[in-house]
Every structure is written in C-alpha cells, then in structure tokens.
Structure 1
C-alpha cells in the first residue's frame, strides 16, 4: 500500500510540475510576443527543454520557467538528426485528400502511381532547377499549385500559364526553356492558391507535400526526392495529419 501511495504522490508531483511549467512558459512568451500566439507547449525528452509551437507555425524552445527562448535548429548529435526539422515535418503535415487538386497543374510521368504536390512561383530560381530535375522522375503524378509570392509579375505569369491551352507544356516551357506563355483570358484559381498557401503557412517556394502529407521546404536533389517519395508512399496509410 505504501508503495502505491508513494507512486501516486510522485506522479502527482511531476504532473503538477509540468502544468506549472507550461503556465509559466505561456505567460512569459505571451508577454514577450505581446499577444497569445501559442499553439502548443510540450515537454521534450531532451535537455529539459519545452517545445513551443506558435500560431505562425514556427517552433522554438524554452526552459521550464520560460526564462530563455531558443530560436534555431536543434540537432541530435548522437543520432545525427535535425530534431527541429523532423518535428516541423510532423506539425505541418496535411491531409492530402483535403487539398483542391483541381486548382493545380497535373503532370503525369510514366504510370503516375506516386504522388508529389508542389507550390511554386514562376520567378523562383530554385523552382526552375527543381522542375528540370523532376523531369527525370519516373512513375509520378505531380500537382503544381501556382503560388505567385516572389515578384510583382509572378501573378501575371501564373495566370498566363494557367490559361494556356496546354498548361503542362506552358509551365515546362517557361520554367525550363524560358519561353513565355501566350496570354489568354480565363477563370483562374491563383487567388485561391495564395489563400490556401497562407493557410498552410507556406512562406517560400518550392514547398512540397508527399503522399503521406509530410512537407519538404525548399529544393531537394532528385535522388533524395525520389527516396522521400518512395518512403511517403509506404507511410501514407499510417499517416495521421497533425493539421488540416
């Protein structure tokens, strides 16, 4: 009986401590930021740190008193992994079924069995390099959301590409060969794409989503991307989106 009481008291002590720590952390960060912009506070298993996810999608760390704020990448030296990046991939996971794929340019390569979703700006240099690389991918369907956020004329270029008779050819022609699409009038989803991108907290291009809903921010070499696509296809039935 004494052992059970001791165990219960210990659990209560740690539970109360964790709650107190979270309350102090919230108070400190809200005072620092000037508004309640905290999505979650979670105690980690490393270094006695707490993980704080902000409404902006950013991830920062602090101590149990909320005395210090660490804004940066946390690296696990023993496992040689980027803890922050891996957590952000989980936090920013989406439900692919919820995405309006009819607002994207659909490019099918081979049997198209694998899935890759991208948000790209026609004036993005890394996007152009990415498009050239993905031309070598096999058996994949690529859904490209035109996402003009970089330059004043990105919007017009996006509309011209979308309103072309052959969107796939127009997109490839501009991104790979620098051939401007012929301007035609049509209803386009570009404004909806921008609204969607902001909702998903996409601040840079290219931003990629794989079949399991995981996110990749920025350019990735073809070999690494191919491997990531394959892994996501295996994981997609087990994936549980953290956000919608």
Structure 2
C-alpha cells in the first residue's frame, strides 16, 4: 500500500478527561477479546474493519467504532488509537477534541486502553515513519519499549515572574509548563500533590486557557486557585494584576518548541514531556539536584 493513503496528522491539543469508569474492562483486551469485539460490531464498523484488514494486514485491529465522531471511525490497535474515514482509505493520527463539551475524546480512550503508561506527548512520535505501516506502531498512546532519555532545557532566560510556586518547600524542585484545560496536567498536578516536591508551575495557553491562567495568577492564593482551576471549580478571590510573566512563559514555550503540555523540567535542566505515573516521576525527580 502506498504511503500516500496515510493522511497527515491532526494537531488538536490535549484537553482534560472527565472521570473515566470501567477502564479495567477495556485494558485487558487480548486476541480473544479483540475477536469478540470485532464479531459484535455493527455492519458499518465491520465493513471498515474488513477494509483495514486488507489495507493494513500487519496491524492487529482490536476494535472499530464509527459512532464516536460523524464521518470518522475510531480504530483501536493494541495500545494505539487512530482514525480513518468510512471508506477506510484515509488514516489520521492525532487528537479529536469536542469543542462543545471541552473534552479530548482521544485522551479519554487512551486512558481506557493504557492508563498506567500514557504519555501526553506521544503523538509527536508519528514523524519519520520508515515503512507504510510504521505510523501505527508509533501513534498516539503507543507504549515505548524503553524509557526515553531526558532532553535538557535551560530555564535561565525566564524571569522570576510568571511562576506559581506550590507543594513542599523542602522537596526537590521541578518546573512544569502546563495548561489548566489539559487533562494530563491535572493528572500530573494531582500526582505531584502526593509527593515531596516543590513545584514551579508556569502556565502556557495551548487550549485557549489564557483568561483562566490570568485569573489563577492574579488570585490572592495562587496555589488554591491553581487546584480550583484544575478541578473545574469557580475561582475564589480572583483579581487583576500584571500578567507579563505569563507572556514570558508563552514566548519561551514558542521559542523552544513546547507545543504540548505538560512539560516537566528538573532543577538540572533535564526535561520530559507528558504525564508519567508516580513511580516514574519519583525516579526522574530523584535523578536531579534539589
């Protein structure tokens, strides 16, 4: 099959996932479960599944659902998730975002498929495919075979303003570039609250959240406002103030190609992108100085 039939990538940004129920029933899908899912699909889903089997013979499709988004079929292949049109010709890898409900539909499914190892920036791994079916093995939500080595990012050019400091003052310091409408950022925030770390949070708006970031930054109690924002609660004691520090955060993010959230930076400059479970976070943070 020609690589032309693989459509380019959707670049919609991640958004928060509401509470997900029944994840365990989805995570354990194996060969038998996949066969059962495919066997009970609607005729339209079965038609697309048959087309994919012919066009992607090396891809083990677990599930096809053409009822999620009008005109698109959501395809589950192991721990990967991608989309095709109903003709089964055009393949799309990336995020589907419901702007009415403000929900990242892709993120919700990815957490169901693989909640413990989900990496928020995994969609970036779609570049540089080496074969026709290679994008499917590196798509959004794919699990790396080994932990990626941290990159490095110098924060010395950032001003002291624009930061919201919270957590344990005596703990090791991590800087987090985040968006208050990003589900992975909320999950990361909740995890960091359970750890002995000092967090320097620098909001950047990748989901149209700048107004919310302004309110949090200008609140009398920024830490309290930060957690209220992630929880979707009304902000108490919000005010107005100089938000040029937030402008600096966004300028820095653009200059360094930080197009997704969260981005986690250790005190020694080591950087990782995306959400990590608590154990992985602890190991990463332990590798840096206080």
Superposition TM-score, scaled by structure 2 size: 0.48
* Corresponding residue number in structure 2 for 1:179: 234
Aligned partner (choices 205, 230, 240) of residue 148 of structure 1: 205
Are 2:250 and 1:198 equivalent residues in the alignment?
no
1:99 and 2:158 equivalent? yes
**How many residue pairs get matched?**
156
Partner of 1:232: 288
8 Å CA contact 1:105–1:168 kept in 2: the answer is yes
Contact 2:218 2:238 in 1 (8 A): yes
Deviation at 1:141, TM superposition (A): 1.5
5+ residue gaps in structure 2? 1-123, 139-144
Equivalent residue, structure 1, for 2:178: 120
Length-normalised TM-score, structure 1: 0.56
Q: Which runs of 5+ in 1 are unaligned?
A: 1-56, 64-69, 74-79, 235-244
Alpha carbons 2:220, 2:238 under 8 Å: kept: no
SS at match of 2:281: helix
Distance 1:175 1:184, change over 3 A: same
More helix by share: 1
Distance in 1 between residues matched to 2:186 and 2:203, nearest whole Å: 13
Deviations 1:65-115 (A, max 9, x none): xxxxx9997xxxxxx536xx43xx33xx12244433432101141513x11
State the shift of 1:146 in Å.
1.1
CA drift at 1:172: 1.4
Distance 2:251 2:169 in 1: 32
Contact 2:202-2:249 within 8 A present in 1 as well:
yes
SS in 2 for 1:233: coil
TM-superposed deviation, 1:211: 1.8
Partner of 1:166: 221
Please say if residues 119 and 206 of structure 1, whose CA atoms lie closer than 8 Å, have aligned partners that are also in contact: yes
- 1:179, distance to aligned residue in structure 2 (A): 3.5
Once the two structures are TM-superposed, the CA of residue 128 in structure 1 deviates from its matched residue by: 1.0
Q: Is the 8 A contact 1:118 1:142 kept in 2?
A: yes
Point out the structure with max Rg over C-alpha: 1
Native 8 Å contact 2:167 2:193 kept in 1: no
Moved over 6 A (4+): 57-63, 70-73
Q: 2:278 aligns with which of 201, 222, 230?
A: 222
RMSD value, Cα? 2.8
* Counterparts of residues 43-58 of structure 1 (less than 5 Å): none
Residues 128, 59 of structure 1: alpha-carbon distance in 2 compared, 3 angstrom cutoff: closer
CA contact (8 A) 1:108 1:141 kept: yes
